[in-house]
Structure formats: structure tokens, C-alpha cells
Chain A
Amino acid sequence: MTNPAQGWNRLPLIALLAFLISSIRIFVRFLYQAVPALVGVYFALRNHLQFVPYVIAGLLTILLIATFLRYRRFLWQFDDQRIRVKQGVFKVTELNLGYERIQQADIRQPFWLKPFNLTVLSLQSAGSKGKEVEIPALSAALSTDLQQRVLAKSQEASVADQSSAEVSDVTHDFELQLPTSEVWRIGSMQNIFIMISALVAFIFANQTMTNYITEQFELWLAGFESQFQALLVGTALALAFFATILILTTLYYFNLFYGYHLVRQGDRVHYQAGLLSKLSRSFRMPKLQLVEMRQGLVGRLLQRWSVRILQAGANHEKAEGRFTVPILTSSRLQALTTDLQFTTAAWRRVHGAFVVRYWLIIGVAMGLIFEPLAGAISAVVVLVWRWVWWRRFGWHVDDQWLVVRTAWIGQRQRWVPAAKMQRVSIQQSPWQRLFGCCQLRADTAGGSLTIPWLQRDAAEALKAQLLELTASNHKRWM
């Protein structure tokens, strides 16, 4: 592999494009937030509008200069041990990241970099939020080389494995491919209400926009002859809106996960996906901290699952940044969990007093706010909900894994290696003491599991077991 000189490297000139796009993105977001202020300025300076073109020209110049400076000030270098990045226009920051510390390595190829065969490399460390190195516009070969270095413990091993990987692709220890028909379904499995609420939150974050929309909506309502007509048209529009969102979500996820191909070779796990922009994401098995299996309402109807594999510090990450298998049929899930060495979970329940938690609070509150009948109805509804929740809640522990299953309509299973505990605690409220119960919380570097309403002695025993497994294990946990 060609190693650019052991000094500070600058990015190729085409990286200007990447910086420009990111600058524009920041700029647009800033402008959108600033719309109310801008409107105020507009009204105040109504009589001096001849300056507007100059102002716009000035802003664009600043944008271009900022982009150029960001490009000029971005320096990076790497050696056998670490990668270093120096960046910043006014405040210069230098990030030093040892390969051993890196949890996950991503190579993205946005469509605008494809013609130049360049990629964006981002490396996530276990540190707190924002400890991420991102190098825009690296040659594809160099990115892959760096990703390999991260995955290997040393350079030599990387070179050796790379050459063996080049020999044949058949030597994968595990492989999982998603056919296009499956990729089409990913969008529908997402919680559409989360998308809609995100969209609504974004639109209404801006006061001017909110006022404008409310005004227009009232005018529009006044235009109808009868309430029924307004309701009919409104419902139709809402349905159309839902359908549009669903189509957009489907297209978005289709683009994201098109051609999904997961491969494990030894300890190296890697997936590649993407239609317009390609993503190649990888991590090493020793870094695994938590595995999350999820099935929503639609997932249950379609009998599909999704899986996320989290590393240390991943709980700070957004969902897009995580190692994801977006859709799995039962048989593919079976294959994946077998490869992850999941054991068979013998689910155990918690104490029945779990059912009544929150029960009366909601009922009484509803009764006080509205009327006693509403209180009684909500008490029954909540009781049924809590009962189903309790019935489907389960936990399991063995020498390999601690698992918690929470379920209502869909379900979520979180699996953590039992020997990778960071902290284990049990707590008891006066209310729980009445029933001789405790709550156990197991913190790992990838997230926490909570088991509420365990019998006190069972909780103590589980805590002792987890601590013993962790304390007596002298293998590397990350």
C-alpha cells in the first residue's frame, strides 16, 4: 500500500467540494433558524433594499472563503499506530486516535465523489460524543487500507489478511445478503410516526412558519360549506400525506440499504450497502458490547426483525451511525444469531407487582382531570396494557449472555455479554420493599439493561453472578 509521506498531508483539491457541501448545509440550517430575525431586519430596512444583492454577494463570499480556509487548514497523517487530524480555522484542534481505540470504521462514497473515486472515511472512538475523525475525500484505496488497519491489530496482520481476502471471496466465515425484495420492505418497518413527528418538529421549530401555517389553515377551513365536507377533504389529505411519507421513507431506506451485503471474516465484521451513496461499515468482534433485536408492529405482521450491534460509546450515536442489519427473515435472523453465538434464552418473568406500576397514577389523574368514568376506563386500559407488558417481559442469564426482552405490540431484545459488565446495581424503593422486590440495572459500555421487580434474593444472586463472571474474566473486553 502506498503510504503518503509520514508528514502532514493535505486533501486533494476535490475535497473543496465536500467542504462546500458541508458549509452550505450548515449555512442553510443557520438561515432557517434565523428566518424570524431576517424578517425583522427586512421590515426595519424596507427602504434600503438596494443593498440586498450586495449583502447576498457578501455572504456568499464569506461562505466561499470559509470553505477554502477549512480546506487549507485540514491536515492529516497516519502511521502504524494512529491517525491524526488537525483542523479548524480560528480554533485549531488536533485529534489523535490510536487504531486500537477505534470502535467502528465507516467508508462512505456519496454520489458526488463517485466520479473521482474518492471516499469519506469516518472513525468512531469509544470516547464521549464528537470524538470522531472524519476525513472527506480520500482515495478509495487509501480508505480501505486505513479501514483494514483499524480492523487489524497491526499493520502486518492487515496486509496479510488483505492479500488473503483478495485471493478469494469465498473464504468468508459468515455471509448475509439482502435481496432487493427485502430492501423494499425496510421503509415500511420504520416507525412512521417518528418520521412524521420529526418533520413536524422541524417545521414548527420556526415561529414565523408556525404562524403562517396556522393562518393559512384557518383560511382554508373557512372556505368550506359544511363541517362534513371539511372533514372529508381533511381526511383524504391526511391519508395522502401518510402515503407520501410512507413512499418517501421506503425510497430513503431503499437507497440506504440497496445491495446490503454483510460479511464476517474471522473477527472482522463488515457490511456494504447503498444505491446513490455507498457505505462500507466495519467493526471487530471483540468490540461488541450490545446486540439489539427489534420488531415493530409492521415487523411483526411481516415477520421481520432488525438487528443493531453496538460498540462502546455507541449509545451517544444516532441510529444512522450504528452497525445495522435492517431487515431479517426468521431464517436469516437464526443464521445471524447463531454466528453471534447467541444461546437459547429460557425466559424468566418478574414479580407480578410489576403490573400495577403506574396503574393507579394514570387512572386517578384521568379521573381528576376529566371525569370519574374516564378515570375508570383508563385504569382498565392501563391495567390490560401493563398485564400484557408483564406477560411478555422476560430476562435470561447464562455464562455468555444477559438478555432482557421488553414487548408490547412489537418486541425488543437486548443481549449483552455477561462478562462485559461495567457496573451492576440494585435498588429498592419503599413500595418495592413491600413485595420484597428490587430493580437490577446492568451497565455496559454499549448501553444499560434494567430488570425491574426481581425478588430481592434473585436480584442479589444475579448481581453476584454477573460480577463474578466479569471479575474472573481476564480476556479483553474491547
Chain B
Amino acid sequence: MTDTQSWQNVARNYIWYLRFDKTVLIALLFVFVVIAWFIDAIPQWVSYVSAAVLLVLWVILVFLWAPIRYRVTRYLLADDRVHFQLGAWWWRETSVTHNRLQHIEIQQGPIERLLGISRLILYTAGGTGADLVIPGLPMDDSEAIRNQLLQDIAQEEISDEAITSAALTSSAEPQAEAEERRHD
């Protein structure tokens, strides 16, 4: 592992993506408040209070949370592994090594396209769905990282031996192993 590489932030535009994302969420919740306002059975003050709460929440998310979130979304590309950090209060660091990558995807939604950012998704065999997602990367960076990773994977030399193998202890096995190698 090299220490020359350092943690890198994602694109600044990612803040705007987060702001848009949370605004949509708040707007959706606001629709419910509006509906509640029209329902007679629900007292009107409930709607007013909810609307106020949503407004406060929106201000916090957009002006406070999004910039902080951006600052604590970081990644590190080491020689043979990728690290990703996320979160301030609930902090998380996820790492995958290059030799376990199954496939790599770049995703870009309409808003992300507008902002010129994309998501780099690294898949391993470790679970269901995406294993490591780096959001908010400039498209060029995503492609560069992907190409670098693909090149690394292609160059990787895998030996015939397996990590778990009976060959280590069994006396009969080296012969069979050699035979298998011959046929490869």
C-alpha cells in the first residue's frame, strides 16, 4: 500500500446534487402536508406545524448538511485497493482490493449529467448489489479511474493454485495439481 496517494474529495458540484436530492424529498413530504390541509378530520394546525418543521429541515439539509456531507465524502486510490469514506457522525470506511473486482459501472442520472458528475460503482462478489459506490465524481475522473482499474485487473496474474486447497497437506494432491496445470 502506498502512502503517496492521499484522500481526495469528490467534485464540488456534488453539494448541488445533494441539495437537489433532499429538496425533492422534502417536496414530496410537503405534498402530504398539503393533502392533510384539505382533509377536514385533521386539524389545520397540524399542517402548519408540519410545514414549518419541513421548512426548518429543508434549510438544515440544504445549507448545513449538504456542504458537510460533501466534505466527509472522500476516496483514496491506492496501488492495489480502493478506499471510500463517508459520514461525519455515522462514519464509515469501505475498502475493496483490485483483485476481487467483478465489474465496474459508471452511472449518471439527468441531474448528475447537468452537473457534470457521475457515480462510479465497483462490484465484488461480497454481497447483493453494489459493493462500493463513489458518488459525485467528475465524468472524466470516473472514466480515468475505471480505465486504470480495468487495466490493473487485466494485468493481474493469477496463479493456478487456489487459496483454499487440500494440496497443502495432502500427499496425493501435488500430482493431481500438476496434472491439472498440464491440461490448462
B95: A residues at CB distance < 8 A: 423-425, 463, 467
Given contacts A171-B172, A341-B169, A467-B81, contact A422 B162 (CB under 8 A): no
CB distance from A340 to the nearest CB of B (A): 8
Q: How far is the CA of A443 from the CA of B158 in the complex (A)?
A: 21
8 Å CB interface, B59-115 against A: 80-81, 87, 89-100
Assembly CA distance A376 to B26 (angstroms):
41
If A153-B180, A157-B180, A173-B170 touch, whether A423 touches B99 (CB-CB below 8 Å) is no
Bound-state Cα–Cα, A423 to B96, Å? 5
Does A474 contact B184, Cβ atoms closer than 8 Å?
Answer: no
Complex interface residues of chain A between 407 and 466 (CB less than 8 A to chain B): 417, 419-430, 433, 443-445, 448, 463-464
Give complex CA distance A475, B176 in Å.
17
Interface hub of A161, A312, A427 (most chain B Cβ within 10 A) = A427
Could you name 12 residue pairs across A and B whose Cβ atoms are closer than 8 Å?
Answer: A153-B184, A157-B183, A265-B172, A266-B172, A267-B162, A285-B164, A422-B124, A428-B90, A467-B97, A472-B80, A473-B99, A475-B158
Please give the distance in Å from A435's CB to the nearest CB on chain B.
14
Cβ 8 A contact of B91, one of A417, A422, A427: A427
Contact check, A470 vs B99: say whether CB atoms are below 8 A apart: yes
- Distance in angstroms from A159 CB to nearest chain B CB is 11
Q: Is A286 located at the chain interface by the 8 A CB criterion?
A: yes
Instruction: Please encode chain B, from 124 to 142, with 1 for each CB lying within 8 Å of some chain A CB and 0 for all others.
Output: 1111100110000000000
Q: Which residues of B contact A423 (CB under 8 A)?
A: 94-96, 100, 124, 126-127, 131-132
Contact with A along B168-184 (1 / 0, CB 8 A): 11101100110110011
A430 to B160 CA separation, bound complex (whole angstroms):
46
A154 at the interface (CB under 8 A from B): yes
The answer to whether the Cβ of B42 comes within 8 Å of any Cβ in the partner chain is no
User: Contacts A443-B127, A444-B126; is A285 near B93 (CB within 8 Å)?
Assistant: no
Q: Which residue of A lies closest to B175 (CB)?
A: A266
Complex Cα distance, B58 from A449, in Å, reads 37
Nearest CB of B to A357, in Å:
15
A422's partner among B90, B92, B125, B179 (CB-CB below 8 A) is B125
Within 8 Å CB of B91, what residues of A?
Answer: 427-428, 433
Contact of A475 among B87, B127, B128, B162 (CB under 8 A): B162
* A417 contact from B132, B157, B164, Cβ within 8 A: B164
Is A108 in the interface zone, CB < 8 Å from B? no
The minimal Cβ–Cβ distance linking B87 to chain A, given in whole angstroms, is 8
Q: Is B165 an interface residue (CB 8 A)?
A: yes
Q: Are A154 and B1 in contact (CB under 8 A)?
A: no
Least CB distance from B13 to A in Å reads 26
Interchain nearest-CB distance for A204 vs B (Å)? 30
Shortest C-beta distance, A77 to chain B (Å), equals 22
- What are the residues of chain A within 8 A of B131 when measuring CB–CB? 422-423, 443
Q: Is B159 an interface position by the 8 A CB rule? A: yes
Contact of B163 among A128, A160, A339, A477 (CB under 8 A): A477
User: CA of A168 to CA of B131 in the docked complex: distance in angstroms?
Assistant: 47
Binding site for A on B (CB under 8 A): 1, 80-81, 87, 89-100, 124-128, 131-132, 156-170, 172-173, 176-177, 179-180, 183-184
A134: Cβ under 8 A from any B Cβ: no
A138 CB to nearest chain B CB (Å):
26
Q: Which residues of B contact A464 (CB under 8 A)?
A: 1
A451 to B168, CA, bound (A): 29
The reply to whether A421 and B158 contact each other, CB–CB distance below 8 Å, is no
In chain B, what residue has the closest Cβ to A161?
B176
The reply to whether B92 and A426 form a contact with Cβ atoms under 8 Å apart is yes
Q: Is the interface of A mostly helix, strand, loop or mixed?
A: mixed
Docked CA distance A53–B25 (Å): 56
**Chain B residue at minimal CB-CB distance from A153:** B180
**What's the nearest-Cβ distance from chain B to residue A334, in Å?**
15
Using known A-B contacts A157-B179, A422-B131, A423-B126, determine if residue A286 contacts B162 with beta carbons closer than 8 Å: yes
Give which listed residue, B90, B97, B165, contacts A430 with CB less than 8 A. B90
Q: How far is the CA of A424 from the CA of B170 in the complex (A)?
A: 32
Could you tell me the distance between the alpha carbons of A157 and B184 in the complex, rounded to whole angstroms? 10
Kindly report which residue of chain B lies nearest to residue A313, judged by CB atoms.
B125
Given A154-B183, A157-B183, A427-B92, answer yes or no on A474-B125 (Cβ-Cβ < 8 Å). no
Residues of A within 8 A of B87 (CB): 427
Q: Does A126 contact B (CB under 8 A)?
A: yes
Nearest CB in chain A: distance from B51 CB, A:
29
Q: A153-B184, A417-B163, A430-B89 are in contact. List 4 more A-B contacts (CB 8 A).
A: A152-B180, A157-B180, A424-B94, A448-B127
- The verdict on A285 contacting B180 (CB below 8 Å), with A128-B128, A173-B173 known, is no
Q: Is there an interface contact between B170 and A476, defined as CB atoms closer than 8 Å?
A: no
A476/B173 contact (C-beta < 8 A), A126-B125, A423-B96 known: no
A94 contacts B by Cβ under 8 Å:
no
A384 at the interface (CB under 8 A from B): no
A474 and B93 form a contact (CB under 8 A): no
Given contacts A430-B90, A468-B1, A476-B160, contact A422 B176 (CB under 8 A): no
Interface string of A276-292 (1 = CB under 8 A from B): 00000000011010000
Closest-CB distance, B184 to chain A (whole angstroms): 7
**A471 part of interface (Cβ distance < 8 Å):** yes
Q: Is the CB of B93 within 8 A of A425?
A: yes
